[in-house]
């Protein structure tokens, strides 16, 4: 068989396999619809999105994969398959800190896929409002960045909100310099969000030391503004360059190449246990000597791994602090339940913000 014949034969086989894949996807979708109807019959308020089930599917397929199809491609591929399947049962509406092409938008897309309906809002409070008022099923907000630290406003919103943390997304943050200009030498001004400017400060000082920087409400707004100014540039995500028709002049200009932002998924409902969960707790301790030590000791004695602790002023009483704690495990686990029962009497108040699947 000649090379030309081999190519033609393989292309025919690919066409045949694509036809089979399409048939199988439709069969899969029928089962998803059946499950959705059964869920709604049993509980009309039940959520269609089940992150634990999705994680189990991807983990199983990744382990079973023998190649040459890459494992890294399984997650995004099945994310879109499951997103499209869920849309057949009802639109999944997600509020996020907008506008489109922000890193929060990218994180939401990575979690819920292209087939969901996305609602951009102007602030973190507005994300909470959209979910609380039932105009969105889920909300996505930033909570902390590996370079710049915690997003305090998000933490503060949990004090009075009844929403639960339903999931988390770890999103790599890669900043790109983009413009209508053809070279860096033409740039006279750089727009971006304050955090993005801070995360690229060394690069800017080295390569554009005499160029003015201007803060914008988001990286996407920066891209939108410089699309109208031929000698201006923006620091934003690649998605923003595609959205606003900009040319990427320099890729990955962040000072720390290991730059990640953690996002939280908000919902009115709790997430079911998956076996690989995280629990977030908000609490306030009595103002006395050794109070923090007394709080932390039960976590250690019960063998619970505390992955994060953050403090914030309570805003209700001078020198009173609220602690936000993340631990490994689900709130229904015996160890977590026992620990919470032990520390509760020592707290002025304690609130479980949610148990949810750990990002993998």
Residues with catalytic roles: 261, 263
Are 255 and 200 in contact by the 8 Å Cβ rule? The answer is: yes
**Cα–Cα distance, 333 to 50 (Å, whole number):** 19
Name 146's bridge partners. none
**Cα–Cα distance, 286 to 346 (Å, whole number):** 7
Look at the block and give the residue holding tokens 């520390």.
343
Look at the block and give the residue holding tokens 């009115």.
268
**Cα–Cα distance, 264 to 219 (Å, whole number):** 19
Nearest-5° Cα angle at 79, 149 to 171: 15
> Which residues does 51 contact at the CB level (< 8 Å), separation at least 6?
166, 167, 271, 274, 356, 357
Look at the block and give the residue holding tokens 């949810």.
356
Ramachandran class of 18: left when φ > 0, alpha when ψ lies in -120 to 50, beta otherwise: alpha
Hey, is 279 helix, strand or coil?
strand
**Cα–Cα distance, 110 to 75 (Å, whole number):** 9
Q: Where are the alpha helices (DSSP H) in the chain?
A: 3-42, 51-64, 74-89, 103-112, 124-132, 152-160, 194-199, 201-207, 219-226, 238-244, 291-301, 334-343
- Candidates 234, 118, 236, 132; CA nearest to 174 is 236
Hey, is 19 helix, strand or coil?
helix
């Amino acid at each position: 068989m000649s090379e030309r014949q081999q190519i033609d034969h393989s292309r025919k086989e690919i066409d045949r396999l694509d036809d089979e894949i399409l048939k199988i996807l439709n069969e899969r979708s029928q089962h998803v619809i059946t499950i959705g109807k059964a869920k709604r019959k049993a509980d009309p308020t039940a959520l269609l999105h089940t992150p634990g089930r999705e994680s189990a599917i991807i983990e199983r397929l990744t382990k079973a994969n023998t190649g040459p199809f890459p494992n890294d491609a399984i997650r995004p591929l099945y994310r879109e398959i499951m997103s499209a399947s869920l849309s057949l049962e009802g639109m999944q509406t997600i509020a996020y800190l907008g506008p489109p092409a922000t890193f929060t938008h990218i994180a939401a897309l990575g979690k819920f896929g292209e087939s969901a309906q996305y609602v951009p809002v102007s602030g973190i409070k507005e994300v909470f409002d959209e979910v609380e008022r039932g105009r969105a099923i889920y909300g996505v907000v930033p909570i902390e960045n590996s370079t710049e630290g915690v997003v305090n406003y998000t933490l503060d919103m949990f004090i009075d909100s009844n929403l639960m943390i339903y999931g988390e997304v770890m999103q790599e943050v890669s900043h790109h310099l983009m413009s209508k200009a053809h070279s860096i030498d033409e740039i006279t001004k750089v727009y971006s969000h304050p955090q993005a400017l801070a995360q690229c400060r060394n690069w800017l000082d080295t390569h554009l030391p005499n160029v003015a920087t201007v803060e914008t409400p988001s990286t996407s707004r920066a891209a939108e503004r410089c699309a109208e100014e031929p000698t201006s540039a923006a620091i934003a995500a690649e998605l923003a360059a595609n959205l606003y028709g900009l040319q990427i002049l320099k890729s990955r200009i962040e000072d720390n190449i290991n730059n990640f932002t953690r996002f939280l998924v908000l919902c009115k409902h709790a997430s079911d246990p998956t076996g690989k969960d995280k629990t977030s707790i908000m609490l306030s301790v009595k103002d006395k000597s050794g109070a923090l030590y007394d709080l932390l000791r039960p976590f250690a004695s019960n063998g619970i791994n505390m992955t994060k602790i953050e403090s914030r002023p309570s805003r209700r009483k001078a020198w009173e602090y609220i602690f936000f704690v993340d631990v490994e495990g689900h709130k229904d686990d015996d160890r977590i339940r026992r620990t919470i029962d032990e520390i509760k009497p020592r707290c002025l108040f304690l609130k479980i913000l949610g148990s949810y699947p750990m990002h993998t």
